[in-house]
Structure 1
Amino acid sequence: MEAVLRVRPVPGGTTWSFLHQVAAAYRLQAGDLTGWWRWVNPAHQARGVRPDGEVFLDAVAQVQLAGWCRVPAGHLARALPSWGAGSEMLAGFGGDGQGWVRWWTGADQWGPVVFGCRLCTARRGGAGVSWVYRARWQRLCTDHGRWLLDVGDGHVLEGLAVGPLAGELGRAQRRWACLARAGLDAGGAGGAPVEVFALARAVVCGWWELEAFGERERVWGRRLEQVVAAT
């Protein structure tokens, strides 16, 4: 396949998602690209694929994909969190000049997988849906006012339109980043940032389940209605 298009990765995206983006740019399916390589576990196709899964490429396959998308492999390594794991995971395979790949189900080492913003994907030369690694406190697309949702939650929504609240949510995300850094600098004495966030989220969810809280709440109920209407 002659590389004539330039497709840039969405920062934090899965390698599996980026393969879909590159294939879509050429009006192909992801399987048309992976068909150039050898699979360590080809049975993954019989079991079906999950959007929160991941594909790992060895060095040969990485160079080939970089040529198809016309983006240096070094840039892909910085943009795609799982990129660097491929060479180590596939050590011992190859040697004949052909790329090797491996499928991995539920690759959560780099965080939960959520739907990416379609507009962000499109402006990087891709098309359709993308999947990205995002912690729960990093779900806002500030450029387009979208709150990104987990994949595999059993609904058809990829994100919520939170335009009226985007400014406030953006400030909250930035404040949380500062809080997380402070927790790490303190040596985790007060708990890891992810544990603190999980506790805070559980408390808030518990409030919403209380009938008495719903009766007193006057602010977030209206905001929720705004998001539902916009979405």
Structure 2
Amino acid sequence: MEAVLQVVPVVGETTWSFVHRVAAAYGLDAADLTGEWQSANWTQHKDRGCAGGEVLLDEVAQEQLARWCRVPAGYLARALPSWAAGPQALAGRGGDGRGWMRWRTGVLEWGSVVFGCGLCAAQRGGGGRRVWVYGPQWQRLWVRHGRWLLEPGGGHPLRWVEVASLAQELGRAQRRWARVTRAAKEGGVAPREVNSWPLTPFAQ
């Protein structure tokens, strides 16, 4: 498969989301790409389409994906939180030149998943397909386009809400969250316990 289009990941994107977008750029399904790799474990087909699912790739599969999307593997390693876990999780496999993958529940290791900014994803290629990124509840403001990112499966059809009028205030709060995190740890609680309320400004 010779790359003809460039697809760039959104920072924080799940690898599984990125595989979907690379496939879409070629008019393919994600299964067409993963079919090139051997799977180290099995997952039900319905689970492969959920936002919290993740796919880890060994070095051979990573190199292939980098060629298909025309983005250096080093950049993918910086943008995709689960990228570095692949070679370690699949160590000892391979040897025949074919890539390996392993299914994983990403939310258990890299945190909750939200819809990414569609405007940014569209600018990075992938046929305008939806994008999933890892985003803790206290860091979901997408400053560039003034959007608050929402979780999939929240009982509504929205992927984000426009918060441009609140972006400055929310941005300040988000930047200060590091102090809240430190205080939470000192107090013996997790940051998510401090910020236990969802921001759902649906009045628009």
Letter of the structure 1 residue corresponding to residue 163 of structure 2? V
Q: Please name the residue that 1:163 is paired with.
A: 164
Does residue 1:142 correspond to 2:139, yes or no?
Answer: no
CA distance in 2, matches of 1:175, 1:157: 27
CA distance in 2, matches of 1:123, 1:4: 16
CA distance in 2, matches of 1:41, 1:156: 32
Does residue 1:189 correspond to 2:183, yes or no?
Answer: no
Q: Percent identity at matched positions?
A: 57
CA distance in 1, matches of 2:43, 2:135: 28
Q: Please name the residue that 1:129 is paired with.
A: 130
Normalised to the residue count of structure 2, the TM-score between the two structures is 0.90
Q: Please name the residue that 1:116 is paired with.
A: 116
Q: Please name the residue that 1:201 is paired with.
A: 195
Relative contact order higher in (CA < 8 Å, ≥ 6 apart): 2
Q: Please name the residue that 1:3 is paired with.
A: 3
Normalised to the residue count of structure 1, the TM-score between the two structures is 0.80
Unaligned runs of 5+ in 2: none
Q: Superposed, which structure 2 residues align to 1:62-81 within 5 Å?
A: 62-81=62-81
Does residue 1:104 correspond to 2:90, yes or no?
Answer: no
Name whichever structure is richer in helix by fraction: 1
What is the CA distance between 1:191 and its match in structure 2? 3.3
CA spacing shift, 1:124–1:46, aligned 2, 3 Å: closer
Q: Please name the residue that 2:202 is paired with.
A: 228
Contact kept in structure 1, 2:6 and 2:69, CA below 8 Å: yes
CA distance in 1, matches of 2:112, 2:100: 25
Contact kept in structure 1, 2:148 and 2:161, CA below 8 Å: yes
Q: Which has the larger radius of gyration?
A: 1
CA distance in 2, matches of 1:103, 1:33: 14
Counterpart of 1:109 in 2: which secondary structure?
helix
Q: For the aligned residues, what is the CA RMSD? A: 2.2
What is the CA distance between 1:57 and its match in structure 2? 0.5
CA distance in 2, matches of 1:53, 1:146: 24
Residue correspondences, number: 203
CA spacing shift, 1:174–1:91, aligned 2, 3 Å: same
What is the CA distance between 1:109 and its match in structure 2? 0.9
Contact kept in structure 1, 2:43 and 2:103, CA below 8 Å: no
What is the CA distance between 1:106 and its match in structure 2? 4.8
Counterpart of 1:86 in 2: which secondary structure?
helix
Counterpart of 1:22 in 2: which secondary structure?
helix
Deviations 1:20-39 (A, max 9, x none): 11111112111111111111
What is the CA distance between 1:100 and its match in structure 2? 0.7
Contact kept in structure 2, 1:52 and 1:151, CA below 8 Å: no
What is the CA distance between 1:48 and its match in structure 2? 4.9
What is the CA distance between 1:179 and its match in structure 2? 4.0
CA spacing shift, 1:55–1:63, aligned 2, 3 Å: same
Unaligned runs of 5+ in 1: 206-219
Q: Please name the residue that 2:16 is paired with.
A: 16
